[in-house]
Each structure stands twice: as structure tokens, then as C-alpha cells.
Amino acid sequence: MQPGQFSVGQLYLGFERNGLPVWSQPGGPGTQVFPALPQQFPTVNIGYPSVVMSYPALYYAGCLHPLNCWEIYSYYDPYEEEIMALVCCPMCSYIQQILPLATYENYEDVPILVG
């Protein structure tokens, strides 16, 4: 990867928000991002006890966060000399897919974004 380029699996907005560390990716780019959402019973369960905490979603990004709608960023790639679309997780900005903006905007080429 060259300066000014992004790769699939890295966090587009980085690990910090307002100068404070929020996200971590101990396995490196392309691995799970922490903190993850809980997937077990809460320690103090007030409600119906047989329902495991889960987050139903249409998609799961490579960071393992559930989502129903991708967040799209665009940036100019100086090496490809074109504007690229970054398909990202809306929670942590994990880059799931990189494609030319012209391709992304063409419904015949990209009818539904699938991670």
C-alpha cells in the first residue's frame, strides 16, 4: 500500500475519536474490531431469560459488527487517478470494499452491496 491509499480491512477514520482511543484491532487489518457487541446473557437479566442478546442485521462486516446500511466515503486515489468509493461499517469505519465511484453509482454493476 502506498501513501494516500486505503486497503480493505483497515479503519478509514482510524482508532480514535476526538483524540480518545475508541476502537482496537489487535489482529491487524482485516480482523475483528473491538469493542464488539455483547452476544451472551447479561449479568443481571430482568427480562425473559431464554433470549440471548443478539443484533439481527442484514449484513455483518469483516469487523463483525451488525449493520443494515453501509456507510460510503469517497476519496481521490492519486495512483489510480480516479475517485474511489469506500464501502464501510457505520460503527467503526472498517473498509469492506473499495471500488471506483463510477462503478458504485452504476446500478447494473452494483445492484446490492454485499460484503
Close Cβ partners of 50 (under 8 Å, ≥ 6 residues apart): none
pLDDT, residue 89, reads 92
> Residues 37, 7: contact at Cβ < 8 Å?
no
* Cα–Cα distance measured from residue 4 to residue 17, given in angstroms and rounded to the nearest whole number: 20
Which residue is it, cell 480518545? 20
pLDDT, residue 9, reads 92
Q: Which helix (H) or strand (E) holds 103?
A: helix 101-104
Per the model's pLDDT, the better-predicted residue between 114 and 1 turns out to be 1
Q: What is the pLDDT of residues 24-79, one digit of tens each?
A: 999 989 899 998 876 666 566 666 655 556 667 788 888 988 888 889 999 898 88
Burial of 48 (0-12, 13-18, 19+ CB in 10 A): exposed
Could you please report the per-residue DSSP string of 73-101? EEEEETTTTEEEEEEE-TTT-BEEEEEEH
* Cα–Cα distance measured from residue 33 to residue 106, given in angstroms and rounded to the nearest whole number: 30
Residue 108 has pLDDT above 80, yes or no: no
Describe the strand order of the beta sheet including 71-77 as a list of residue ranges.
71-77, 82-88, 95-100
Q: Would the pTM count as exceeding 0.95?
A: no
